[in-house]
Amino acid sequence: MHTYTYERLYQFTYKVLISLGHSKENAREATRVLLSADLRGVDSHGVARLIGYVRLFEADRVNPKPNIQITHETPSTAVIDGDEGLGLVVAPEAMRVAIKKAHEVGTGWVSVKNSNHYGIAGYHAMMALDEDMIGISMTNASPLVAPTFSIERLLGTNPIAVAIPAGNQPPFVADMATTTAANGKLEILQRKNQAAPEGWIQDKEGIVSTNPYQLKEGGALLPLGGDREHGSHKGYCLGSVVDIFSAILSGANYGPWVPPFVSFLPLSPNPVGEGIGHFFGAMRVDAFRPKAEFFSHMDKWIETFRNSQTIAGQDRVMIPGDPEREMEKERTENGIPLLEPVINDLKSLADKFGIEL
Amino acid sequence: MHTYTYERLYQFTYKVLISLGHSKENAREATRVLLSADLRGVDSHGVARLIGYVRLFEADRVNPKPNIQITHETPSTAVIDGDEGLGLVVAPEAMRVAIKKAHEVGTGWVSVKNSNHYGIAGYHAMMALDEDMIGISMTNASPLVAPTFSIERLLGTNPIAVAIPAGNQPPFVADMATTTAANGKLEILQRKNQAAPEGWIQDKEGIVSTNPYQLKEGGALLPLGGDREHGSHKGYCLGSVVDIFSAILSGANYGPWVPPFVSFLPLSPNPVGEGIGHFFGAMRVDAFRPKAEFFSHMDKWIETFRNSQTIAGQDRVMIPGDPEREMEKERTENGIPLLEPVINDLKSLADKFGIEL
């Protein structure tokens, strides 16, 4: 474990993205999106993935100079064709369209096709906060999750993020996979050779397993809830809604056809759409009531929940977004710790592109 | 247990609502909403609640002649004041406003204050289906749910429903409380004197309990996920988003201030808003892509999931809405079975209002 400053990882990532052929503007934005994951403590979605993105370029699955276009629209909606661009570039552009429409008619809703992995869902939702809007962001992803009672991997971890501005309080930012546990948590258990709790995964026969390697051996992640008795059908509903809003509305691939993030897995020979899909929303707070009223009640909501009485052994009740915001402050000041395998990956990229890490 | 035809329960419920002072039109609509729960197998939200609604009228907490009005709007949004009407009347009216706005600008989003309990969330979302729109419906509810790490009841079971039309396939209809298990399921266990699975409830100290009576003794329902290790913070996020969209956007009561459904519990002496809140959305499918394309891919999505391979011992993978639709067909043909205590409640209403059951 070594700690790197944000600035150092920023310069490195930016130069890698430039080397891949991105414009300066797109490289800057993609770097900000990617590193926001490291700052916020979502280590699985940050610079650790940079080598994966590079491999997608090498496999000719990403277009460094995408012509991102609106292909269909109404006053409050749009479909955007990402032109095979990096999701880190396509998603902020789509969110800007949602925000623009919300300025015009109160809300904006954008479904995206022909994109790639877009980093952390929360970043895009949070773009709405500065505009005094509620932001919503979701994406489909490579199939790793079995619907309740199925042994097939038909859904991704399909995250949903909702960012809600407040007045004096920091914003409410929910950013959650629709599975019991995200894949990143399983990878941590694999590294530590620890068992997974029941309700996270099933093996290839569909039997609940605590062996974290079962996912790689044909098993599947389980929808939020874990099993039927604990509401896994609800997690399955949520992941399905994300898939449908992201891909059936836009014309992207869905379900088992979503392209894999890892370049060594083949693309489906019979795609049902283009690339992966995202869905974004922006709702102007004052499209519903005067801003000052909204903010003062949002503050009161947050204070009420944060100050509620804890169960024994817990020192506080958190508001969604609290841990990530605190981590961001800490890592902005003290740097971002990276694991040895991640550093080695970055060093190999440094060699490949002749860039100093 | 006795079985009643839909028509018989319809006539009875309609006459009770007329006796309470509703217009014929409102009584008809409220009856349809209420009984849709019985038809769809959500017995906790159907005619079993009729006596509860009557008691709310008797406690002067419901207005039988509400003047339902838009108090704030943009082309794609509105806030509606339900004027203390029955949620069964206010909600369909709000959904119609969302649908009208979706016809005009692609999508419509309506937050509602000053309402009461609105029956099953799914009914209102499904109103969008005939218009070739996606429908969304959510509501806050009496506080029974503790956020992760809290011992206080700060959220309701706050359901979310999403209805998505398909082509040849029946529609996708998700309708789910954001808790591991809804209160109705707990009441069934209480009646049968059976233990609840771990992850459904905690006692008044915040310790996980399997005693279904603990909820009535100061405990709380748990958010979807059950405990932190199984993602209860995600259920807490979802329930919170429902509360904020339903009440902070509209000006209704939120969190611990949401008025109780049962008339014997007092209202808060310091309300933070008016009545309970709902939130509705309607998105025109062809605001995103041509209808025929959407429907054919939605059919393919449904077929893929329904025909996926099951785990041993399960005969099928369900699509959200399948069990309720099958139940509706069965009960429309063969009648609605009611438990003895429910029949006794209805008989007492029959006596009170001089109506034949």
Which residues neighbour A115 within 8 Å (Cβ) at sequence distance 6 or greater? A82, A84, A85, A87, A90, A91, A252, A275, A276, A277, A278
> What is chain B's pLDDT, residue by residue, as a tens digit (357 residues)?
899 999 999 999 999 999 999 999 999 999 999 999 999 999 989 999 999 999 999 999 999 999 999 999 999 999 999 999 999 999 999 999 999 999 999 999 999 999 999 999 999 999 999 999 999 999 999 999 999 999 999 999 999 999 999 999 999 999 999 999 988 888 888 878 899 999 999 999 999 999 999 998 999 999 999 999 999 999 999 999 999 999 999 999 999 999 998 888 899 999 999 999 999 999 999 999 999 999 999 999 999 999 999 999 999 999 999 999 999 999 999 999 999 999 999 999 999 999 999
Residue A256 carries which DSSP code?
G
Binned at pLDDT 50, 70 and 90, residue A263 comes out as confident
Global pTM value: 0.98
Residue A149 has its nearest CB partner, among B243, B297, B310, at B310
ipTM over cut 0.95: yes
- Predicted confidence at residue A189, as pLDDT, reads 87
* Average pLDDT score over residue span A250-262: 96
Determine whether the interchain pair A150/B311 forms a contact, defined as Cβ–Cβ distance below 8 Å.
yes
| DSSP for B256-271, written as a single string | GGSPPSSTTSPPPSS-
Judge whether B322 and B302 are in contact, CB under 8 Å: no
At residue A143's C-alpha, the angle toward residues A125 and B290, to 5°, is 65
The residue behind tokens 């890490």 is A357
Give me the residues of A, 6-45, that contact B with CB < 8 A.
none
- Put simply, whether B251 touches A (Cβ < 8 Å) is yes
Residue A171 carries which DSSP code?
P
Find which of B248, B297, B306, B309 to mutate to test the A interface (most A CBs within 10 Å of its CB).
B248
Per-residue model confidence as pLDDT tens digits over B136-182: 999 999 999 999 999 999 999 999 999 999 999 999 999 999 999 98
When the pLDDT of each residue in chain A is averaged and rounded to a whole number, the result is 96
Q: How many beta-carbon pairs under 8 angstroms link A with B?
A: 255
Give me the residues of B, 270-309, that contact A with CB < 8 A.
272-273, 283-285, 287-289, 293-294, 297-298, 300-301, 304-305, 308-309
- Put simply, whether A268 touches B (Cβ < 8 Å) is no
In degrees to the nearest 10, what's the CA dihedral of B83, B27, B343, B220? -30
Q: Go through B114-132 and write b for each residue having 16 or more CB atoms within 10 A of its CB, e for each that does not.
A: bbbbbbbbbbbbbbbbebe
Looking at chain A, which residue has its C-alpha nearest residue B305? A154
SS3 B96: helix
CA separation for the pair B127, B135 (Å, rounded): 7
CA separation for the pair B152, A343 (Å, rounded): 44
- Put simply, whether A251 touches B (Cβ < 8 Å) is yes
Give me the residues of A, 181-240, that contact B with CB < 8 A.
181, 197, 199, 202, 205-207, 224-226, 229-231, 233-238, 240
- Put simply, whether B248 touches A (Cβ < 8 Å) is yes
In degrees to the nearest 10, what's the CA dihedral of B237, A144, A182, A64? -100
Largest CA distance in chain B: 55
One-letter amino acid for residue B180 of the chain:
T
- Put simply, whether B59 touches A (Cβ < 8 Å) is no
Which residues neighbour B88 within 8 Å (Cβ) at sequence distance 6 or greater? B29, B30, B33, B34, B53, B117, B118, B119
- Put simply, whether A352 touches B (Cβ < 8 Å) is no
Determine whether the interchain pair B289/A79 forms a contact, defined as Cβ–Cβ distance below 8 Å.
yes
Per-residue model confidence as pLDDT tens digits over A32-56: 999 999 999 999 899 999 999 999 9
Structure tokens at A179: 């599975």
Find which of A309, A311, A316, A319 to mutate to test the B interface (most B CBs within 10 Å of its CB).
A311
Judge whether A328 and A39 are in contact, CB under 8 Å: yes
- Predicted confidence at residue B145, as pLDDT, reads 97
Point out which residues pair with B279 in neighbouring strands.
B111, B138
Determine whether the interchain pair A301/B207 forms a contact, defined as Cβ–Cβ distance below 8 Å.
no
Domains of chain B, start order: 181-221 (3.30.60.50)
Per-residue model confidence as pLDDT tens digits over A277-316: 999 999 999 999 999 999 999 999 999 999 999 999 999 9
Per-residue model confidence as pLDDT tens digits over B212-264: 999 989 999 999 999 999 999 999 999 999 999 999 999 999 999 999 988 88
Tally the residues of chain A: 357
* Average pLDDT score over residue span A91-119: 98
Q: How many CA atoms lie within 13 A of A354 on its CB side?
A: 1
- Put simply, whether B241 touches A (Cβ < 8 Å) is yes
- Put simply, whether B265 touches A (Cβ < 8 Å) is no
- Predicted confidence at residue A184, as pLDDT, reads 80
Looking at chain A, which residue has its C-alpha nearest residue B150? A310
**Cα Rg, chain A, nearest whole Å:** 20
Residue A272 has its nearest CB partner, among B74, B285, B300, at B300
SS3 A208: strand
SS3 B135: strand
